[in-house]
Amino acid sequence: MAGPATRVTIPADHPALPGHFPGRPIVPGVLLLDAVMQAAGLGQGLLRRAKFLAPVLPGDAIEIDLVPGPGRLGFACRCRGTTVLSGEFAWPPA
């Protein structure tokens, strides 16, 4: 599962963006977590922890790194050279 980073972009016209937030749209955390799960090939998982470190704007490119380990799947998301999200899922999903 570890390997090169997966690159994703949440388009500015994504249906979850209107109202999140008026005047200054940011990508909801749940969309970032969903992108991590898709990059890992997880249909579902148990989120152990997540730390949102900086906002992601619509249209930003996000690089997702996966770090499998015993009983866990760590992840880090970078955007514009900055870590914006890190955390881990239980592995295999419970």
Catalytic residue numbers read: 20
Q: How many CA atoms lie within 13 A of 19 on its CB side?
A: 2
Measure the CA–CA gap between 54 and 34, rounded to whole angstroms: 17
* Contact residues for 15 (Cβ-Cβ < 8 A; gap 6+): none
Measure the CA–CA gap between 15 and 49, rounded to whole angstroms: 26
